[in-house]
Amino acid sequence: NAGVTQTPKFRVLKTGQSMTLLCAQDMNHEYMYWYRQDPGMGLRLIHYSVGEGTTAKGEVPDGYNVSRLKKQNFLLGLESAAPSQTSVYFCASSYMTDLRPRNTEAFFGQGTRLTVV
């Protein structure tokens, strides 16, 4: 049971380059999220998705785009990387039901360490 899988695990980009981070989950979760983690700060939500074909902005969406073409995959794109985007990126997923939409646990991937030089 793989859970939430992120690829790649590490990446170094030059300023202005683009890249896509892939998140895949095999738990049939509706909700998926992308967070970034910076030293001394809590995780911050970049974008999230409540289902296939839907995405929404989180707390820090600027400079990122996302897509959820398939329920199990959530992609995070950086069109023109900047040094300020150096961070560790985490993908998460959770299951939501109509009966108890908020009482659910979030599951996380192993993270992607991105350095922009």
Partner 1 sequence: KQEVTQIPAALSVPEGENLVLNCSFTDSAIYNLQWFRQDPGKGLTSLLLIQSSQREQTSGRLNASLDKSSGRSTLYIAASQPGDSATYLCAVRSSNYQLIWGAGTKLIIKP
Q: Does residue 42 interact with partner 1 by CB under 8 A? A: yes
Nearest CA among 102, 114, 81, 115 for reference residue 7: 114
Q: What is the DSSP letter of 10?
A: E
Q: Do residues 115 and 88 make contact, with C-beta atoms less than 8 angstroms apart?
A: no
Please, what is the minimum distance in Å from the beta carbon of residue 70 to partner 1? 19
Please, what is the minimum distance in Å from the beta carbon of residue 43 to partner 1? 4
With contacts defined by CB under 8 A, name the span among 18-26, 67-75, 76-84, 100-108 that binds partner 1: 100-108
Residue list 14-33, contact with partner 1 (CB under 8 A):
31, 33
Judged by CB under 8 A, the number of residues near partner 1 is 28
Q: What is the rounded CA–CA span in Å between residue 42 and residue 56? A: 20
